[in-house]
Structure 1
Amino acid sequence: MFQGPAADLDAYAKKVQRMVKEEKGVFGELPTFDFARYTFIANYLPQATSDGMEHRNSTSLTSPRSLRPEEGTRNLGTAAHEFFHAWNVERLRPRDLEPFDFQRANMSDALWLAEGFTQYYGRLALRRAQPD
């Protein structure tokens, strides 16, 4: 349950929506999500550790920062980065990451490129999503 002014949650959700629209514009369309849905699972709690992990149809976000405008910007940056992975790495992935082997780590020398593009475009989408 969200604890804080409802206006902070509403403002954050609108920023996420604008960011999603900007990232969609990079590729021209959204990926085909299973069940036609993408879910942001956000746990912004004082005891949380900052982290983000993309999955094919969702993103898990954790942070001890609140959604107050002065703190929520870093939360938004993580959301933008992880959502960009819906294309870059989840659908466009380095060849040496497959086939998946759940018994050992799949080492890849190409993740620097995948992460670099994601970092660049996540920040660019946030900049472009700012209201005029």
Structure 2
Amino acid sequence: MLEDIVSNVSGARHAILLSADGLRRGATSGMSADLADTISAAMSGMQSLSRATARFAGPEDNPKWQQTVIEFKHGWIFLIAAGQGAYLAVAAAPDIDMQEITFRMHQLVSRLGKELMTPAREMADKQ
């Protein structure tokens, strides 16, 4: 499913699904495992920094982190929540349509949530 966003959004380069503690849960092809692990750890730290600085954005009593966007001369990184204890990070080209990429990321998170859910166990009747 991560490959879908890179294949279908012009300018999307890489996608990584990571746990809140920075462990890689999935990554698109074309990235080495070492790079994906490094980026996963960095994105976890970035998300933590974003939450810690939320009050800087305004006087909200209970600020809620929604997204972190980082701009580089050569591209963008977008980071959003992907369910309980998970995050989705996508790297993109400088000319990416920001509205499209964030929309697609939220769609992917919705799909991932449905796929990763474990159905409730049913008790077998004892005879």
Normalized against structure 2, the TM-score is what? 0.37
Larger proportion of helix: 1
Larger proportion of strand: 2
Structure number with greater Rg is 2
Normalized against structure 1, the TM-score is what? 0.36
